[in-house]
Chain A
């Protein structure tokens, strides 16, 4: 029954997305790469991207002004950070490892263990105003955030430009839409792996291509879950099919089982994308694997692999690091404050 509900939720989520592209928006994607789906009620615009970027880096999105989205989602780490978990503004312990945002616009399920959260516009409100755990601290005080931003003349102008149909309203809905729009532009398709696929000369070691063969082959079987252009089945299949248990059940965190109540779903977590994985340590849902080798070894499928083969896989994964993406000024901290 729960599985049916999850499937229905996924279908509903898909229904509100347009497969048609936003024709006026320049995604700056390489030839042959389709842009991510965009909800019909939140079309792309440069004004919304600019507002979303500014909001993403603004610590006023936390109750005490100490934490912005970028506090945990650091560009140089592919929009995650180097901590296993991170406490919120009131020092509530963080629950799970911060997820990287590379190509997040393509993903169906957006969190480690909840297949119901499939819209960036909705997910964004979890850290801002969630309570389990408290992160940015606006739970039941969202009006303070909208009043804070609404009193800023710079934001008044930016919201008016981004949301003319809403008369520039500063609301949790428009905040979520702007942040989601910016995050859909976080696209990474210029790693050495991509360059090689495009026929460009790439200087890499032999072990890299041995690792590629292993990655896509049946023996390691990595690509059965780390599938598609973003190396995750979260971007290629139905929302409830992207959750897997990679090793023995964890003692504490029940993962997907916490949502569905099914024993079979205990310790299942969403497949993370692997683009830029070389700069997004630590790994796994709890950040317990400090290196890629450790993370690979935690997979049951890696039991039969020797150290040299794991090293080959690590070398291959290194070709997924897109230096342009992690240094692109379009995604970085705006050089001046808003206001």
Chain B
């Protein structure tokens, strides 16, 4: 069963051109369809169910207080979009009633990293102030609260993760290195 779920997740996480990442958010599973939620998770995202609180930064100066740690899940609180000063204009800026924010991300080892969200928000990863190309995008496996998964090939160093066009003020988010 776990293998089937992982195969489905792999199939959905398909290669994507350029920075395209508008994979539609998967419909929320209903209890009737799933025996249990968030049981069959991709191996790198097993920590998805244990989320720590984290406040997103509104401006670059606050980034040191909003660090994403690879392998650890967070339930982030996001400010209102008009209160966020993005370093680079997001390709999909949210409206005035949406939420967004900035996060610091430091990577120690090179590899493919997946950024997983519990919503369908837009993700930009910036290196030295410029947006990076995403590698693949897709939905999370069925019967999980993973709504969106986007990969980026990252080298050791510091990055900024920009989140835009998130509906609610809360965002489940996790960064993890692919095995």
Task: Determine if B24 and A94 form an interchain contact, defined as CB atoms under 8 angstroms apart.
Answer: yes
Chain A residues in 8 Å Cβ range of B144: none
Determine which of A74, A86, A152 lies in contact with B24 in the assembled complex, contact meaning CB atoms within 8 Å: A86
8 Å CB contact of B165 from A61, A66, A337: A66
B27 interface hit (Cβ, 8 Å): yes
The minimal Cβ–Cβ distance linking B168 to chain A, given in whole angstroms, is: 8
Most buried by A among B18, B82, B98: B98
Residue from A72, A83, A91, A148 having most chain B Cβ neighbours under 10 A = A91
Residues of B within 8 A of A91 (CB): 25-28
Size of interface on A: residues with Cβ below 8 Å to B: 32
Q: Let me know if A59 and B24 touch, CB within 8 A.
A: no
Q: Which residues of A contact B25 (CB under 8 A)?
A: 87, 91
Residues of B within 8 A of A247 (CB): none
CB distance from A89 to the nearest CB of B (A): 7
A30 proximity list for chain B (CB < 8 A): none
Q: Determine chain A's interface SS by DSSP, over half rule.
A: loop
Q: Which residues of chain A are within 8 angstroms of B92 by Cβ–Cβ distance?
A: 59, 68, 70-71
Contact bitstring B19-57, A, C-beta under 8 A = 1, else 0 = 010111111100000000000000000000000000000
> Is the Cβ of A60 less than 8 Å from the Cβ of B27?
no
- Which residues of the partner chain A approach B120 to less than 8 Å between Cβ atoms? 66
Residue in A66, A76, A83, A335 whose CB lies within 8 Å of B95: A66
**Which of A60, A83, A337 makes the CB contact (< 8 A) with B97?**
A60
| Chain B nearest CB, measured from A182 CB (Å) | 17
Chain A residue with Cβ nearest B21: A82
- A83 near B22: Cβ-Cβ < 8 Å: yes
Judge whether B27 and A87 touch: CB under 8 Å.
yes
In contact, A83 and B23 (Cβ under 8 angstroms): yes
Question: B109: CB under 8 A from chain A?
Answer: no
Q: Report Cα–Cα, A111/B167, bound state, in Å.
A: 28
Q: In the complex, which of the residues B16, B91, B96, B120 has the most CB atoms of chain A within 10 Å of its own CB atom?
A: B96
Across the interface, which residues of A come within 8 angstroms of B168, CB to CB? 64
Separation of A61 and B92 alpha carbons in the complex (Å)? 13
Let me know if A82 and B22 touch, CB within 8 A.
yes
Within 8 A of A (CB), among B85-100: 89, 91-98
Within 8 A of B (CB), among A259-279: none
Task: Given A64-B97, A65-B96, A71-B92, decide whether A81 and B22 contact each other with a Cβ distance below 8 A.
Answer: yes
Besides the known contacts A66-B120, A148-B96, 5 further A-B residue pairs in the complex with CB atoms under 8 A apart: A65-B81, A65-B165, A81-B20, A87-B27, A91-B25
Residues of B that sit less than 8 Å from A by CB: 16-18, 20, 22-28, 81-82, 89, 91-98, 120-121, 165-168
Which 6 pairs, one residue from A and one from B, show the smallest C-beta to C-beta distance?
A65-B95, A65-B98, A60-B95, A59-B95, A65-B97, A64-B167
